[in-house]
A and B are shown apart, each in its own frame.
Chain A
Amino acid sequence: MMLQAFHDTKLIWLFGGVLFLLVVSSTVGNILKSRRKSDSSRATIDNLNARIRAWWKMCLIFGFSLLVGRTGSLLLFGVISFLAMREYMTLVPTRRGDHRTLFWSFFVIMPLQYYLIGIQWYGLFAIMIPVMAFVFVPTSIALSGDTEHFLERAAKIQFGIMICAYCLSHAPALLLLKIPGFEGHDARLLLYLVIVDQMSDVLQYVWGKLIGRHKIAWRVSPNKTWEGFVGGVLTATALGAALWWATPFTPLQSAGLSFTICILGFCGGLVMSAIKRDIGIKDFGVVIEGHGGILDRIDSLCFAAPIFFHLVRYFFVP
């Protein structure tokens, strides 16, 4: 398995494309930096360059995990799940009575979810959290004897496990799918999902900055505009369609799936923004500086991954 990725020319092309894009962005970022005039544009450009630097790091880590193969991807997403859940549970108010439940969520339920992908037990992977954890969480909280805000606490913890562990785990679970004629290339499918999803975020940000005027849901997320949304979704869909050669899809199918990924990514971002407003913070990473908002980065993937997984599984796996 190890280093098999090196022999997959299309995977190398796909990843090479990402690196090329990063080189271009870094260059543009540096040019902008040397030309900046006002203080307000300086802040935007510094923020942009910080984002590009973060992208370099993320891409190198992701690329390395793909090289290591299935275990690498599982480990990487397991760690992301852990860090995301850590951010979520830190900021969502929990009580002393939730302690044991939280312990189980972090150290048993979440690792088990990834283990089930590792041993390719699809049946249990699909129901473990929505069915078994769903029964376990409220029971375990009830056993603590603290009934204050019981329903809220059970719901918040279950939601956190669903988002951070269950939903996200569907991204590396793509490696489980046995698509005829695509055996051994499943890493490409994962990379495809991540590229389209993250590019949709980036392009919505870029279009929004360039021509954004009309707010979509001002109270929830002041930065989301209709112009950014339409521009971002259309360009990311076009990009996804143009990557059909790396997937088991035709160009038209690829466009449809990319479009779905973009829309769901948007929904994920919107929902996580609403949660942040509810808790009263702007970014998951802001309150705890330096632990830079992993959840802010993957919110779109959390919604896109499970639906993409099931669409591919339904239509392409016999």
Chain B
Amino acid sequence: MSEGIHPIASLLAAVARGITGVQVQWAGCQPDVKQRIYFANHTSHLDFVVLWSALPAEIRALTRPVAAKDYWEETPLRRYLTEKVFKAVLVDRGAAARGKNHEETHFVGRHLMDDLADALGKKYSLILFPEGTRGDGKELGPFRAGIYHLAMRRPDVELVPAYLENLNRILPKGEIFMVPMLSLLTFGKPIQVEPGEEKDAFLERAREAVGSLRRIGPA
């Protein structure tokens, strides 16, 4: 993978910041180049770009999004954006769940974790939306298990929760026109899988870590 930030990525980030007027608050940690997985709520196509644009440039160059393969490989434009511009890690969402039996599920899931662990490498950070799909902004959906497995695989990487507010009102799912409302982004305190913690307990805790960062409340 080539180093540096694609000029179109910088342009899109600047436009996204202008339209969303995003106010960034590092409530639970400070920006850092150390390896991290930023995980946030997902309500809009703007989520990734806004979160990414909020990071200082040197961190941005080392931070890649995790995106759904089925959606982002559908059209040439989407492919170009994910592959060339943002250097996204594409994952086949739900592939593990589609496995015919336990072994196949296990195999597919393991393969997926290999991809993500490779993408992290020795210096990269990832941006991940554990709900797996865009919600309506009212309530957080259940978190998928990927973040747990990845955290188990790479305990050295910090898990930073983040909450993006109002982006669903700026560019909701299924809409192409943007309305320039103001938005908020809050980074919380890093979490980790506690010794002996079960998968479901961790996922629920991770979900609460994101939800607790909400500042305005449901509209």
**With A86-B21, A93-B219, A94-B219: A102-B179 Cβ-Cβ less than 8 Å:** yes
**With A287-B216, A291-B21: A90-B172 Cβ-Cβ less than 8 Å:** no
B87 at the interface (CB under 8 A from A): no
B166 at the interface (CB under 8 A from A): yes
B180 at the interface (CB under 8 A from A): yes
For window 90-113 of A, CB contacts with B under 8 Å fall at 90, 93-94, 96, 99-100, 102-103, 106
Which residues on the B side are within 8 Å of A102 (C-beta)? 179
Task: State the main secondary structure of chain A at its contact with B.
Answer: helix
**With A94-B219, A289-B23, A291-B23: A86-B180 Cβ-Cβ less than 8 Å:** yes
B172 touches A99 (CB 8 A): yes
A290 at the interface (CB under 8 A from B): yes
For window 32-65 of A, CB contacts with B under 8 Å fall at none
CA distance A106 to B182 in the complex (A): 13
Which residues on the B side are within 8 Å of A94 (C-beta)? 169, 219
**With A99-B175, A100-B177, A103-B177: A291-B182 Cβ-Cβ less than 8 Å:** yes
CA distance A103 to B178 in the complex (A): 7
For the complex formed, measure the closest distance between the CB of B18 and the CB atoms of chain A, giving whole angstroms.
11
B180 touches A106 (CB 8 A): yes
B219 touches A288 (CB 8 A): no
Residue-by-residue, is B139-178 near A (CB-CB < 8 Å gives 1, otherwise 0)?
0000000000000000000000000001001001001011
In this complex, the interface size class of chain A, counting residues with CB under 8 Å from chain B, is 10 to 19
A238 at the interface (CB under 8 A from B): no
Which residues on the A side are within 8 Å of B169 (C-beta)? 90, 94, 99
CA distance A269 to B136 in the complex (A): 35
For window 171-194 of B, CB contacts with A under 8 Å fall at 172, 175, 177-182, 184
Which residues on the A side are within 8 Å of B23 (C-beta)? 288-291
A90 touches B177 (CB 8 A): no
B179 touches A89 (CB 8 A): yes
For the complex formed, measure the closest distance between the CB of B214 and the CB atoms of chain A, giving whole angstroms.
13
**With A86-B21, A96-B172, A99-B172: A288-B182 Cβ-Cβ less than 8 Å:** yes
Which residues on the A side are within 8 Å of B175 (C-beta)? 99
Task: State the main secondary structure of chain B at its contact with A.
Answer: loop
CA distance A99 to B180 in the complex (A): 11
Residue-by-residue, is B181-219 near A (CB-CB < 8 Å gives 1, otherwise 0)?
110100000000000000000000000000000011001
| Smallest CB gap from B215: residue in A | A287
| Smallest CB gap from B166: residue in A | A90
B179 touches A99 (CB 8 A): yes
**With A94-B169, A288-B184: A99-B177 Cβ-Cβ less than 8 Å:** yes
A106 touches B179 (CB 8 A): yes
CA distance A135 to B21 in the complex (A): 30
Which residues on the A side are within 8 Å of B166 (C-beta)? 90
For the complex formed, measure the closest distance between the CB of A81 and the CB atoms of chain B, giving whole angstroms.
12
B181 touches A90 (CB 8 A): yes
Residue-by-residue, is B14-35 near A (CB-CB < 8 Å gives 1, otherwise 0)?
0000000101000000000000
For the complex formed, measure the closest distance between the CB of B155 and the CB atoms of chain A, giving whole angstroms.
36
CA distance A86 to B169 in the complex (A): 12
A197 at the interface (CB under 8 A from B): no
Which residues on the B side are within 8 Å of A106 (C-beta)? 179-180
| Smallest CB gap from A101: residue in B | B179
A87 at the interface (CB under 8 A from B): yes
| Smallest CB gap from A82: residue in B | B180
> What are 30 A-B pairs with beta-carbon distances under 8 A?
A86-B21, A86-B180, A86-B182, A87-B182, A89-B179, A89-B181, A90-B166, A90-B169, A90-B181, A90-B182, A93-B219, A96-B136, A96-B172, A99-B169, A99-B172, A99-B175, A99-B179, A100-B177, A102-B179, A103-B177, A103-B178, A103-B179, A106-B179, A106-B180, A288-B21, A288-B23, A290-B23, A291-B21, A291-B23, A291-B182
Which A-B residue pairs are the 8 nearest by beta carbons?
A102-B179, A103-B177, A90-B182, A90-B181, A93-B219, A288-B182, A103-B179, A288-B23
A residues in contact (CB < 8 Å) with B? 82, 86-87, 89-90, 93-94, 96, 99-100, 102-103, 106, 287-291
Q: A90-B166, A96-B136, A99-B179 are in contact. List 8 more A-B contacts (CB 8 A).
A: A86-B180, A90-B169, A94-B219, A96-B172, A100-B177, A106-B179, A289-B23, A290-B23
